[in-house]
């Protein structure tokens, strides 16, 4: 019972809490660096979710080797490889966004001397 529950729910609960925590950080924090960290947490949550929907308890890895059989009795037994390949794409896109956000953060710190969103707003007025 407990094992069943864990197998069915644990990854989804974990990914959902990551997304929720990240969203909360992005919406409430005032520091630009923390906002970027929040964005990264949201991204990790999404990636975990995508891997989790590909998984099932008796999954084998989706790679043909001498000992690894992806088909048993005419049924596919691997983990679903499609979400895994999408995760690869999502990770790279997340990396690019983070790099760009950090570069904008560097420029903001150079020009305003602060990373606090409130102080930046005041400086603009």
What is the rounded CA–CA span in Å between residue 89 and residue 113?
35
* Shortest spacing between CB 118 and another protein, in angstroms: 4
Shortest distance, position 123 Cβ to another protein, whole Å? 8
Who contacts 109 (Cβ-Cβ below 8 Å, separation ≥6)? 115
Distance of CA 24 to the CA centre of its chain: 15
- Report d(CA 121, CA 85) in Å as an integer: 41
Largest CA distance in the chain: 71
């Amino acid at each position: 019972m407990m094992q069943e529950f864990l197998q069915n729910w644990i990854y989804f609960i974990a990914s959902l809490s990551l997304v929720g925590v990240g969203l909360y950080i992005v919406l409430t924090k005032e520091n630009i660096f923390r906002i970027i960290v929040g964005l990264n947490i949201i991204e990790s949550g999404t990636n975990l979710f995508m891997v989790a929907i590909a998984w099932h308890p008796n999954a084998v890895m989706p790679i043909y080797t001498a000992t690894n059989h992806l088909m048993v009795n005419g049924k596919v037994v691997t983990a679903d490889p499609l979400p895994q390949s999408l995760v690869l794409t999502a990770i790279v896109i997340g990396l690019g966004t983070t790099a760009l956000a950090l570069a904008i953060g560097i420029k903001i710190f150079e020009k305003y001397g602060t990373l606090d969103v409130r102080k930046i707003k005041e400086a603009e007025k």
